[in-house]
Amino acid sequence: MHNASVPDPVKNVEMVDSRGNPTGEFDEISLPSKTLLEDKRGSLIGFEKQAVRNKTTVEVEIEKWAEEQIFNKTVGRITSLAIAVGTRPAEKKTADARPVPCIDEFRAFRILIFRLKETDSRVRDGIVKQKDRLSEMFPDWTFQLA
C-alpha cells in the first residue's frame, strides 16, 4: 500500500544517491498500475533539419535520437532504480514541495511505457527497434509504446 498523500499519477520524480545527487528521473509514475511512463517528443521536422545539417538522412537522425533517448536513457534509469536510495520532485520541472513516492514504492515496477508525441511511422519504427533491444537486455521488463 502506498502513501495516501502521494497523488496518482505523480509526475517528474527524481531518484537520488546517498549524497543526494540525482541518478535518474521518471516523467510519471502510477502506483496503482505499477507503471513507469516516459514522454518522448522526437519531431520529424527536427530530424529533417538535423539530416540537412549533418548531411545524413532522416532515418539516420531518427536512429541516433532513438538510441540515445530510448535505449541509453532507459538503461540509465533502470540502473538508477537499483542504486538510488531516495526520491524527490525533479527540480528542473517543478519547484514545489509536492509529495513523491519513496524509491521502495516503485523500485520493483517492471512496466515502462513510452508515450510518443510524433506519429510518423519512421519515428515509431526507430523507437520499436530500441524497445526491442531493451527487451533483450531486460527480459523481466515490459516496454510499451503509447
Specify the pLDDT at position 4. Answer: 54
The answer to the question of residue 2 being in a domain is no
Whole-number pLDDT of residue 92: 64
Q: Total domain count for the chain?
A: 1
| Beta carbons of 141 and 112 less than 8 angstroms apart | yes
88: domain range?
10-145
C-alpha cell at 135: 527487451
Is residue 5 one of the residues assigned to a domain? Answer: no
Would you say residue 135 lies in a domain?
Answer: yes
Q: Decide if 53 is inside a domain.
A: yes
pLDDT in tens, the chain (146 residues): 445 566 788 999 999 999 999 999 999 999 999 999 999 988 888 899 989 999 999 999 999 999 999 999 999 999 999 999 999 998 765 555 678 999 999 999 999 999 988 788 999 999 999 999 999 999 999 999 99
- The CATH number linked to 105 is 3.40.1350
State residue 77's pLDDT score: 96
Nearest Cα residue to 78 out of 31, 37, 110: 110
Q: What secondary structure does DSSP assign to 47-95, as a single string?
A: HHHHHHHHTS-HHHHHHHHHIIIIIIHHHHHHHHHHH--EEEE-TTT--
Dihedrals phi, psi of 54, to nearest 5 degrees: -95, 0
Residue 16 lies in a domain: yes
Residue 1: the pLDDT is 40
In this structure, are residues 70 and 77 in contact, taking their beta carbons and an 8 Å threshold?
Answer: no
**In this predicted structure, what is the pLDDT of residue 127?**
94
